[in-house]
Amino acid sequence: MVEVAVVAGDGIGPEVTAQAVRVLRAAGERFGIEFSFQEALIGGAALDAYGVPITPETLELCRRSRAVLLGAVGGPRWDRVEPERRPEQALFALRRGLGVFANLRPVRVLPPLLEASAVRPEVAAGVDLVIVRELTGGIYFGEPRRREPTGTAPGSVRAIDTLVYTTEEVDRILRVAFELARKRRRSLISVDKANVLESSRLWRERVEMMARVYPEVEVRHMLVDNAALQLVRAPRQFDVLVTENLFGDILSDEAAALAGSLGMLPSASLGGRVGLYEPCHGSAPDIAGQGKANPLGAILSGALLLRHSLGHEEAARAVEEAVEAVLAEGWRTADLAGGSQTRLVGTDEMGALVAEYVQRGKAA
Ligand code: IPM
Ligand code: MG
């Protein structure tokens, strides 16, 4: 029995997560995997129900599970909540609590979606890269983090965030990236801001050291501003891109524009005993409850769960192939719509199409 904690969260989170669960059940039936899904509230939903964005019980449920499927958290309703209780805190508690320091965000431009890409088709064609984002360190977690009076004038304050990395934190994420590169096209681009930041200079030194352990992997350093440019100018040069927490957050949204929609991107957060799987997109409060969100990022996160937590490559591929096949047949959610061949569907129908394909192993 494979126990999966389902924390769907806020906004479109529950809608897209339901489709990921549906597709995982279909894969389970086809490949003989028995899933048990346990649901719990997280983010704003937990805040409303219990006064905290994640309860100790929910964290414990996630810790005990084989994998966690997460939707999205947050929304304007909770924007005025004090920082320690914001819905996003639940994400950080989960990431830290599960020790998932390595966030993998694969970005593939699927042929049927070439037209939907934000860049020209000849630039986007064939893009197949993975962003390896450090997830439990850097400025997201660094201390001190506070506000204090500057003392120079009444009402004058300074806000302090701290960007800090240790050699251990850098080495463990680099190891994940080198190992991944070794299994792919053996090319690694490490992104930093070593012309300005001390933490980046340490990062770069550690990359140099580890590169000696992986002579088969070709390594390049790239400054983050240039990386932002190169991602839209010549994205095919990237195979594995490894970077620190905040840079990875920003660059992965940018890379999503290549794939046609932020709604397409899945992610896997690894490094602990339990894997955490979530689409890269947010809670999209503007379209929540309308049944038109793109569930493919969540569904593809389910494929990553099959691959990384269960080691079931065949089932993972079956889900990925089903997504491609359904898109090739012209089915699109609103975020991807456009073009004459479009067959517009909602969240639920899209999930049903993929699930059906997975179950039969071919088109209906
Ligand atoms: C992401 C999101 C989160 C992050 C937010 C919701 C805190 O943008 O997973 O990329 O910044 O890590
Ligand atoms: Mg982000």
- Reading the chain (364 residues) residue by residue, the pLDDT tens digits are 999 999 999 999 999 999 999 999 999 999 999 999 999 999 999 999 999 999 999 999 999 999 999 999 999 999 999 999 999 999 999 999 999 999 999 999 999 999 999 999 999 999 999 999 999 999 999 999 999 999 999 999 999 999 999 999 999 999 999 999 999 999 999 999 999 999 999 999 999 999 999 999 999 999 999 999 999 999 999 999 999 999 999 999 999 999 999 999 999 999 999 999 999 999 999 999 999 999 999 999 999 999 999 999 999 999 999 999 999 999 999 999 876 678 999 999 999 999 999 998 865 5
The pair phi, psi for residue 84, each rounded to 5°, is: -70, -20
CA end-to-end distance (rounded Å), the chain: 29
- Give yes or no: 249 in active site: yes
Please, what sign has the CA dihedral across residues 43, 47, 52, 58?
Answer: negative
Please indicate whether residue 254, judged by its CB atom, sits closer than 6 Å to ligand 1.
Answer: no
Q: To 10 degrees, the CA torsion angle through 162, 282, 304, 170?
A: -10
Active-site annotation holder among 10, 192, 239, 249: 249
- The per-residue pLDDT for 361 is 82
What is the C-alpha R_g of the chain? 20
Beta strand 268-270 with 275-277 is: antiparallel
Task: Return the ligand 1 atom nearest residue 246 CA.
Answer: 11
Name which residue sits closest to atom 9 of ligand 1, judged by CA: 280
Task: Write down the pLDDT at residue 96.
Answer: 96
Distance 46 CA to ligand 1 centre (A): 18
Pocket of ligand 1 contains residue 349 by CB under 6 Å: no
Cα 285 to chain centroid distance, Å, stands at: 19
For 118-259, give the CATH class: alpha beta
CB of 88 sitting under 6 A from ligand 1 = yes
Cβ neighbours of residue 30 closer than 8 Å, sequence gap 6 or more? 315, 318, 358, 359, 361
Look at the block and give the residue holding tokens 């501003």. Answer: 225
Rounded to whole angstroms, the Cα distance separating 281 from 302 reads 15
CATH number for 1-103+261-364: choose from 3.40.630.10, 3.40.718.10, 3.40.50.300, 3.40.50.2000. 3.40.718.10
> Letter for the amino acid at 41?
L
- Relative to the alpha carbon of 283, which ligand is closest? 1
Distance from Cα 221 to the centre of ligand 2, integer Å: 22
Residues whose CB is less than 8 angstroms from the CB of residue 155 and which lie 6 or more positions away in sequence, other chains included: none
Which ligand is in closest contact with the Cα of 278?
Answer: 1
Kindly report the protein residue whose alpha carbon is nearest to atom 12 of ligand 1: 249
Helices (H), the chain: 13-31, 44-50, 56-64, 88-98, 121-124, 167-183, 198-211, 224-233, 245-259, 296-304, 313-328, 347-360
Between CA 304 and CA 316 the distance in angstroms is 7
Is 10 noted as a catalytic residue in this protein? no
Cα separation, 37 vs 143, whole angstroms: 36
Say what the pTM is: 0.96
Identify the nearest ligand to the CA of 72 by its number.
Answer: 1
Specify the DSSP element, H or E, that contains 5.
Answer: strand 2-9
- 177 close to 188: Cβ distance less than 8 angstroms: yes
CB-CB contact of 65 with 4 (8 Å):
yes
Q: Is the CB of 255 under 6 A from ligand 1?
A: no
Instruction: Pick the atom of ligand 1 nearest to 249's CA.
Output: 10
* Distance in angstroms (rounded) separating the CA atoms of residues 115 and 119: 9
**193 among known catalytic residues:** yes
Half-sphere exposure of 319 (CA within 13 A, CB side): 31
Is 362 assigned a catalytic role?
no
286 catalytically annotated: no
Q: Write out the residue limits of the CATH 3.40.718.10 domain(s) in the chain.
A: 1-103+261-364, 118-259
* Predicted pLDDT at 151: 97
